[in-house]
Structure 1
Amino acid sequence: MDCGICLKPGQFDVVSRPRPTEAPEGWVLVDIAAIGICGTDYHIFEGKHPYLDYPRVIGHELSGHVASGPDSGRLVVVNPYLSCGTCRACRRGKPNCCASIAVLGVHRDGGMCARIVVPVGNLYPADGLSVRQAAMVEFLAIGAHAVARSGVGKGDLALVTGAGPIGLGTALFARLAGAEVHLMDLSDERLALARRLCGFDRLHRPGDDILAGDLAEGFDAVFDATGSARAIEAGFPLLAHGGTTVLVSVVKGDIGFSDAEFHKREARIVGSRNALRSDFDRVIAAIREGLIPTDALVSDVVPLADLPARFPALVHDRNDIVKILVTP
């Protein structure tokens, strides 16, 4: 079968590998239907991912049909986070931050291929969704989890910094939670997409003097989806007293803040990693109910055979796209 493999930084190709025909006990064969390209995949191509060994079959935003067992033929979403089930986090119901987590397409080969083998517990029924919608559940679940971690609700003021796919997903679920949502980004193109595709109209650029009028006291929640330490630090002064900063993105460096200002606000800094089954379920239900504009979020659908030629341009033009889906 054909597999999309990043052989080394800057080199992506389609390589033939044997097609799996058997699954060990507790695992199941899944025929992949669609794969979303994530910022992680772009970072792998660029050689910027800190936890990856090459070559690697990429792809962790996956939908497919069960190919073995009693649910054969059923459309499912694949949860790509393989947890150990025994560490303290797993025992406390937090497999998303398992101490020994292995993410498909990062720590082990992913799903940009015709068929994979995954634990049966990592498959969630996607009845009522299309294969394209099901492939978008994972990235939207990242945002849904961040919103759940924040505790924002009706009447709260929320600022999402970074209007890429993860930021948009976070903004969509903050809006569904009842918050007044504002978006901030360096890119006018991304802000324009957020307005046109998702109807967000409270848009800001970094450096704008936004703490005025109804926003004079700051935001109840600031979500960072930029991956920039500088942007995270710039967000702390925008936080209202009693507010919460949610770190959705990950940065390699250190983050600094004023301890006096932090205590004066009785602020919280919350990390948000991956997603839980409840977040996947929330996203699936929202899509099924027509609350997420999934069609608008799909920028293009690319056959796997065409991806090697197109990958460099996709990496370069990320400001103009939201979600690229690949068909094996």
Structure 2
Amino acid sequence: MHYIVCEKPGQFALKEKSVPVRKENEALLKIKSVGICGTDLHAYTGNQAFFTYPRILGHELCAEVLEIGANSKNIKVGDKVGVMPYLSCGSCIACTNDKSNCCSSIHVLGVHTDGGMQEQIVVPSNILLPVGNLTDDEIAIIEPLAIAAHALRRAQLRRGETIAVMGCGPIGIGILKQAQIMGAKVIAMDINEGRLQYVKNTIGCDYAINASQDPLAKIQAITNGNLCTAVFDATGAKFPLENGPEYMAHGGRFVLVGLSNGDLTYNHPKIHAKEATIMCSRNATMEDFEQVINIMGQFPTASFITHKVPYTEMITNFDRWLDPEYGTIKAVVHFNNK
């Protein structure tokens, strides 16, 4: 069978290997499609924490079950499934406190261990997701939307709040749309005018602000000087990660969803004066995945997925998806298995 491996930063290779063999409590899956994530883009450019090479990327997966044993979810051969791509130990302090998303020895498919950019893969049966009548495209984007759902749950978002989301990539868009569904007033921030127009016109954001054009003054005007009760970083870039508290109201929360590969610095008097809650949000739990499956019908999947290619053309297209001028929001790679 075919698979695509990132040999080292900037280098993919299409190779062949034997079909994997399923063990007890595992399932053999036929990969139908794989969403391309910011994690994949950063891994390709050599700027991804927790990453080693060579690695088969891919953790946003739509698959069909080829082989499976008895399981608690009653998933059967032939079913389409999503995959929660986080392999947790089940016994560490995080896992025993219902935080398997930050297990002390977590292995994420496509990051710490090989992922789904291959025609077939074996995974534990307990990370499979029944998906009902969702389409292949909807299934392929469950995972990034679950990350967004987890960030909102971490923030304990309340109806009527005014929030700011820095970064209108896939995760940021997921936060914006789901916060809107939850009844929040949403302010989107980015420096890409095309993405700002998308979140304003298609997602329906209340406000879309160019982050390079005095965003603090604009947020002050929108909020009558109160600022935002919750601010989310979905960029993973040092400058917004360090400046997010500037847009946060006194008593507010700043949620770091994006991951920077380095140190961050905050002015203690400024964050102390606001009694700021600064929290990280990592991955997602099964609860978050199930929440996304339930609201997927309200998400604009067709416009969110901007590029689709067969796996045989992934390598030649990947560099384009890194170029902001190419207009990629979400790219999906399809495996046309017989």
TM-score of the two chains, using structure 1 as the length reference: 0.95
1:73–1:318 CA distance, 2 compared to 1 (3 A): farther
Tell me if the contact between 2:5 and 2:57 (Cα under 8 Å) persists in the aligned partners: yes
In structure 2, the partner of 1:148 is 153
- The CA deviation at 1:318 is 6.9
Structure 1: 5+ residue stretches without partners: none
The answer to whether the 8 Å contact 1:243/1:267 transfers is yes
Looking at structure 2, the residues matched to 164 and 29 of structure 1 have their Cα atoms a distance apart, in angstroms, of 32
Moved over 6 A (4+): none
1:101-140 alignment, distance < 5 Å = 101-140=106-145
Cα drift, residue 16 of structure 1 = 1.0
2:184 corresponds in structure 1 to 179
C-alpha displacement of 1:214: 3.0
Q: Secondary structure at the match of 1:260?
A: helix
- Tell me what 1:242 maps to: 251
Find the counterpart in structure 1 of residue 231 from structure 2: 222
Deviations 1:105-133 (A, max 9, x none): 11111001111111111001011101111
Shift of 1:260: 2.5
- Cα distance, 1:88 vs structure 2: 0.7
1:122-149 alpha-carbon deviations (Å, 9 max, x no partner) = 0010111011110100011010100011
1:187-232 CA-to-partner distances (Å, cap 9, x unmatched) read 1122122223322240112223221253411001000011122112
Distance 2:68 2:168 in 1: 41
Q: 1:197 aligned to 189, 198, 202, which one?
A: 202
Distance 1:282 1:158, change over 3 A: same
Greater CA deviation, 51-60 or 146-155? 51-60
3-state DSSP class of the match of 1:56? coil
Residue 45 of structure 1 is matched in structure 2 by: 44
Q: Which residue of 1 aligns with 2:86?
A: 81
1:190–1:319 Cα contact (<8 Å) kept: no
CA positional deviation for 1:262: 2.1
In structure 2, the residue corresponding to 1:84 is in which secondary structure?
Answer: coil
Counterpart position of 2:165: 160
**How far apart, in 1, do the equivalents of 2:105 and 2:129 lie?**
22
Q: Which amino acid aligns with 2:39?
A: T
1:266 to 254, 275, 282: 275
Give 3-state SS (helix, strand or coil) of 2:123's partner: strand
Report the TM-score when normalising by structure 2: 0.93
Residue by residue, what CA displacement relative to the aligned partner does 1:4-55 show, whole Å, maximum 9, x if unpaired? 21122111121111112x3111111111111000011111111212322222
1:307 pairs with 2:336 = no
Aligned to 2:334: 327
Q: Is the 8 A contact 1:184 1:203 kept in 2?
A: yes
SS of 2:68's partner is coil
Matches of 1:319 and 1:169, distance apart in 2: 21
Q: How many residues align?
A: 325
How big is the alpha-carbon RMSD for the aligned residues of Structure 1 and Structure 2? Answer: 1.4
d(CA) in 2 for partners of 1:140 and 1:292?
A: 10
Cα distance in 2 between the residues matched to 1:7 and 1:213: 48
Q: What letter corresponds to residue 193 of structure 2 in structure 1? A: D
d(CA) in 1 for partners of 2:288, 2:136: 19
Q: Which amino acid aligns with 2:308?
A: V
Q: Do the aligned partners of 1:12 and 1:311 also contact (CA within 8 Å) in 2?
A: no
SS in 2 for 1:244: strand
The alpha carbon displacement at 1:269 in A equals: 0.6
Q: CA distance change for structure 1 residues 319 and 241 in 2, over 3 Å: closer, same or farther?
A: farther
2:208, 2:131 → 1: CA distance?
A: 33
Q: Which amino acid aligns with 1:36?
A: G
CA contact under 8 A between 1:6 and 1:54: conserved in structure 2? Answer: yes
**Distance (whole Å) between structure 2 residues aligned to residue 263 and residue 53 of structure 1:** 37
SS of 2:258's equivalent in the other structure is coil
Matched letter for residue 140 of structure 1 = L
- Whether contact under 8 Å (2:48, 2:261) holds in the other structure is no
Gaps of 5+ in 2: 70-75
Kept in 2: contact 1:160–1:225 (CA 8 A): yes
